[in-house]
């Protein structure tokens, strides 16, 4: 059964782009801009820990006075505000990594792409402008017994020691220091399509050793561990390796990584030789004399065809500023904007009782594990990073624990190689600080207040600090200033509902609030990491991590409207709400957008969008298509037929069809275009 201490808020398909974002300035205030201060109180409802910069086992302090850094609180609040305001999964804050997979059980995903006829070997070496691979063609094979009887005996099942260091190529080479690796070999036979050689006097080559996952049982069955090593014959040519290919290789082997999963021992071994100017053995695939990818073993880690960015909806790559960026500022590309909110440090007032130190295993979830990190649907197959139209599972969050961390199982071992040692403060600690805001519009201040209070949802908690997966850092955050919070949240809510009529009931808001509440976690909703074998078992059963609100024992939390319970008479508030409609699609829309009718059919939407841009109805419909609204899903052919009717009336395209690009592929539009 799938379990995890974290879950995901699904990505928003629409992004709120405030029309005033380009006018934000610290020098020229808005006519209706507001400045002031919010006093904030944080109560630790469970043990809490934020590490000190000098002593990483102690809670953050200055000369013994405990405090929570303002940056920590700011990060927590910004994360919630981004979700609530349908902001972008900001590309500047997301690493565009290409993960890799090595799954010998998965024929479609991995083994079909690693067929012997596609695999070559060679020597990687540094060049003036990067790296080069000397292409040695198809590798030969040689049995461990043929290399050395004494060497082979080390890997017999009864002698093989199941220790990580004994599984590396480095260990193997240390056993063969006296054996000459470069010599002549003679072809002997074929074994399952592999050319097997013995020592002889024919072709010169070099014995190459790779890791040993397990000991040899020598029973002749498939999966009976490794009995062959490799022979690299003389190189035939040299191929330049592109930087992106090298970067993907280094990322797959955790280059320079000091925390789990740490840098691959074999890569550390070979990297040291590269630095000395030596060349190292690699295996690779190529196409049109271009290296596609490479690795350190025959069945190496295969980079996925899609990177992280490819799993994010196109609208998130728009250059316009979202609400989070206008409030908190940004630094990206050639522009920058200073934030209009500043967080003070939050000083401890009372209840700061240090608990005994402990060592906890916090877990290291792998973002490449697609049953969790890629959006899935019920069925017999997975969506993976290899698929053209995969979507990320969403924004990761740690659901609130109802119960305290189990103090009876606490151990302390600061020498642990896998655990993290720290000394938390006991629950009940109270911290107080300030937030200074400058020149915020009412909708922005309302969004900030909503992020603190989860839009005035009672019994909701924030998480802060480390060990959130174990229940640490559960906090209640209160605004104690005398501010008309509901008035501002009304303006924010109206702005969001103008863009998305079902904003309060959207999956994004529902999952956020549900994960921020106490639940009776049991069965599939139990907040714990799975055991290592369970990850492989889950893949065999095609199981995946479902949305948190759909797990066992979870009570779904639906946001309640503040607008319906609070009458606002402020004319400025009404005017701001009216003009705060979000914008979607490829181009800014300077016209006021009417609320989307509920249960609108795709035909009704087409008529409305055509009227919105009456001078060019085709362009209006295409612009709407680029965002991929749900109303059109499944009706692509019908939409295309309607567009054909429009073309007959106009006689030609009045706008160039959108062109496909890496981050602007407008997937739904392309589906419609193929019917035209």
DSSP string, 209-221: -----S-B--S--
Per-residue exposure over 621-647, b if at least 16 CB sit within 10 Å of its own CB, e if not: bbbbbbbbbebbeebbeebeebbeebe
Q: How many residues does the chain have?
A: 676
Please give the pLDDT value at position 35.
92
Task: Count Cβ atoms within 10 A of the Cβ of residue 334 and give its class: 0-12 exposed, 13-18 middle, 19 or more buried.
Answer: exposed
442: part of which helix (H) or strand (E)? helix 442-453
**Interatomic CA distance for residues 456 and 464, integer angstroms:** 19
CB proximity list for 633: less than 8 A, separation 6 or greater? 668
Q: Residue 426 and residue 46: Cα distance in Å, rounded?
A: 7
Question: Which among 181, 186, 215, 220 has a CA at the least distance from the CA of 201?
Answer: 186
Q: In this structure, what token pair is assigned to residue 212?
A: 């040993």
Residue in the structure block whose two tokens are 């690779």: 284
Across 201-289, where does the E strand assignment appear?
203-208, 228-233, 237-241, 280-287
Interatomic CA distance for residues 209 and 227, integer angstroms: 11
**What pLDDT sits at residue 214?**
86
Cis peptide before 20 (omega within 30 of 0): no
List the structure tokens of 24.
């934000």
The pair of structure tokens assigned to 657 is 């069809």
Burial of 586 (0-12, 13-18, 19+ CB in 10 A): middle
The predicted pLDDT at position 86 comes to: 95
The tokens of 599 are what?
């249960």
Number of Cβ atoms within 10 Å of the Cβ of 83: 24
Cβ-based neighbours of 493, under 8 Å, separated by 6 or more: 446, 450, 455, 503, 504, 561, 562, 563
pLDDT of residue 192: 76
Taking Cα atoms as reference points, which of 116, 140, 96, 101 lies closest to residue 228?
140
Nearest-CA neighbor of 588 among 85, 14, 13, 17?
17
User: By the 8 A CB rule, do 318 and 332 touch?
Assistant: no
Give percent above pLDDT 90 in the chain: 58
At 336, is the secondary structure helix, strand, or coil? strand
Which residues of the chain are modeled with pLDDT < 70? 91-92, 220-223, 332-334, 364-365, 565-636, 646-676
Contact assessment for residue 279 and residue 206, using Cβ atoms and an 8 Å cutoff = no
Beta-carbon contacts of residue 407 (< 8 Å; ≥ 6 apart): 355
CA 351 to chain CA centroid, Å, is 37
Buried b (16+ CB within 10 A) or exposed e, 567-576: ebeeeebeeb
Classify residue 455 as left (phi > 0), alpha (psi -120 to 50) or beta: left
Residue linked to tokens 């409609």? 581
Which helix (H) or strand (E) segment holds residue 396: the answer is strand 395-397
User: What percent of the chain is helix, strand and coil (3-state, nearest 5)?
Assistant: 30, 20, 50
Query: Tokens representing 494?
Result: 């109206």
Residue from 57, 83, 159 nearest 423 by CA: 57
Do 424 and 61 meet the contact criterion of CB atoms below 8 Å apart? Answer: no
pTM across the whole model = 0.79
Instruction: Evaluate whether 425 touches 44 at the Cβ level (below 8 Å).
Output: yes
Strands (E), 33-152: 34-44, 61-62, 65-68, 100-101, 120-127, 130-135, 140-143
Q: How far apart are CA 143 and CA 476, in angstroms?
A: 64
Location of structure tokens 């069965």: 523
DSSP label at residue 255: T
The two three-digit tokens of residue 267, written as one number = 């890569």
pLDDT at 595: 38
Q: Which residues pair with 239 in a beta bridge?
A: 133
Q: Which residues pair with 190 in a beta bridge?
A: 195
What's the confidence (pLDDT) of residue 579? Answer: 45
Contacts of 270 (CB under 8 A, 6+ apart): 169, 280, 296
Distance separating alpha carbons of residues 617 and 624, to the nearest angstrom: 11
Question: Token digits for 348?
Answer: 């401890």
Please check whether residue 110 is in contact with residue 101, taking contact to mean a CB–CB distance below 8 angstroms. Answer: yes
Residue 353: per-residue pLDDT: 93
pLDDT of residue 21: 85
User: Six-digit token pair at 500?
Assistant: 């998305």
Q: How far apart are CA 644 and CA 632, in angstroms?
A: 16
User: Which of these, 563, 566, 574, lies nearest to 493 by C-alpha position?
Assistant: 563
Q: CA-CA distance, 405 to 428, in Å (whole number)?
A: 14
Taking the CA of residue 599 as centre, how many other CA atoms within 13 Å lie in the half-sphere pointing to its CB? 0
Quick: pLDDT tens for 25-66: 877 888 888 999 999 999 999 999 999 999 999 999 999 999
């Amino acid at each position: 059964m799938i379990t995890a201490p974290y879950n995901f808020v699904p990505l928003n398909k629409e992004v709120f782009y405030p029309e005033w974002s380009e006018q934000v300035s610290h020098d020229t205030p808005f006519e209706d801009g507001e400045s002031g201060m919010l006093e904030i109180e944080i109560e630790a409802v469970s043990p809490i820990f934020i590490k000190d910069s000098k002593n990483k086992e102690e809670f953050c302090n200055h000369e013994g006075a405990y405090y929570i850094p303002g940056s920590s609180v700011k990060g927590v609040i910004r994360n919630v505000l981004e979700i609530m305001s349908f902001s972008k999964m900001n590309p500047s804050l997301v690493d565009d990594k290409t993960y890799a997979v090595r799954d010998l059980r998965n024929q479609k995903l991995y083994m079909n792409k690693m067929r012997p006829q596609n695999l070559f070997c060679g020597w990687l070496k540094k060049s003036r402008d990067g790296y080069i691979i000397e292409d040695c063609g198809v590798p030969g094979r040689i049995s461990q017994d043929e290399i050395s009887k004494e060497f082979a005996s080390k890997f017999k099942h009864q002698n093989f020691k199941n220790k990580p260091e004994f599984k590396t190529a480095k260990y193997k080479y240390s056993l063969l220091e006296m054996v000459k690796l470069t010599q002549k070999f003679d072809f002997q036979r074929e074994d399952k399509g592999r050319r097997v050689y013995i020592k002889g006097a024919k072709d010169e080559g070099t014995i190459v050793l790779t890791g040993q996952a397990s000991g040899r049982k020598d029973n002749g069955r498939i999966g009976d561990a490794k009995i062959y090593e490799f022979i690299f014959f003389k190189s035939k040519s040299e191929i330049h390796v592109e930087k992106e290919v090298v970067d993907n290789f280094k990322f797959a082997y955790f280059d320079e990584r000091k925390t789990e999963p740490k840098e691959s021992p074999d890569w550390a071994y070979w990297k040291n030789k590269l630095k000395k100017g030596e060349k190292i053995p690699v295996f690779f695939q190529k196409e049109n004399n271009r290296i596609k990818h490479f690795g350190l073993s025959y069945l190496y880690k295969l980079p996925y065809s899609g990177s992280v960015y490819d799993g994010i909806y196109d609208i998130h790559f728009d250059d316009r500023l979202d609400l989070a960026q206008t409030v908190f500022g940004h630094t990206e590309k050639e522009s920058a904007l200073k934030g209009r909110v500043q967080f003070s440090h939050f000083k401890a007032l009372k209840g700061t009782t240090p608990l005994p130190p402990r060592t906890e295993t916090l877990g290291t979830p792998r973002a490449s594990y697609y049953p969790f990190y890629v959006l899935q649907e019920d069925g017999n197959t997975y969506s993976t990073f290899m698929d053209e139209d995969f979507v990320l599972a969403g924004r990761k969050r740690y659901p609130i624990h109802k119960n305290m961390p189990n103090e009876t199982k606490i151990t302390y071992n600061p020498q642990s190689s896998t655990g993290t040692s720290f000394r938390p403060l006991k629950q009940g600690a109270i911290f107080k600080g300030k937030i200074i805001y400058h020149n915020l519009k009412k909708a922005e201040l309302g969004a900030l207040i909503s992020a603190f209070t989860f839009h005035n949802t009672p019994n909701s908690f924030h998480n802060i600090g480390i060990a959130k997966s174990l229940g640490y850092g559960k906090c209640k955050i209160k605004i104690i200033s005398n501010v008309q919070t509901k008035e501002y949240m009304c303006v924010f809510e109206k702005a969001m509902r103008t863009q998305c009529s079902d904003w309060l009931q959207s999956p994004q808001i529902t999952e956020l609030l549900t994960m921020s509440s106490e639940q009776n976690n049991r069965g599939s909703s139990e907040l714990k990491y799975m055991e290592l074998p369970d990850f492989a078992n889950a893949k065999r059963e095609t199981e995946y991590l479902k949305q948190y609100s759909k797990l066992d024992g979870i009570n779904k939390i639906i946001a309640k409207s503040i607008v319906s319970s609070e009458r606002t008479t402020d004319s400025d508030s009404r005017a701001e709400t009216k003009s705060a409609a979000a914008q979607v699609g490829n181009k800014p829309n300077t016209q006021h957008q009417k609320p989307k009718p509920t249960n609108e059919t795709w035909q009704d939407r087409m008529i409305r969008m055509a009227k919105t841009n009456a001078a060019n109805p085709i362009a209006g419909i295409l612009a709407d298509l680029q965002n991929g609204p749900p109303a059109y899903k499944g009706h692509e052919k019908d939409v295309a037929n309607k567009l054909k009717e429009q073309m007959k009336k106009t006689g030609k395209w009045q706008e160039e069809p959108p062109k496909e690009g890496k981050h602007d592929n407008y997937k739904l539009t392309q589906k419609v275009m193929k019917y035209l």
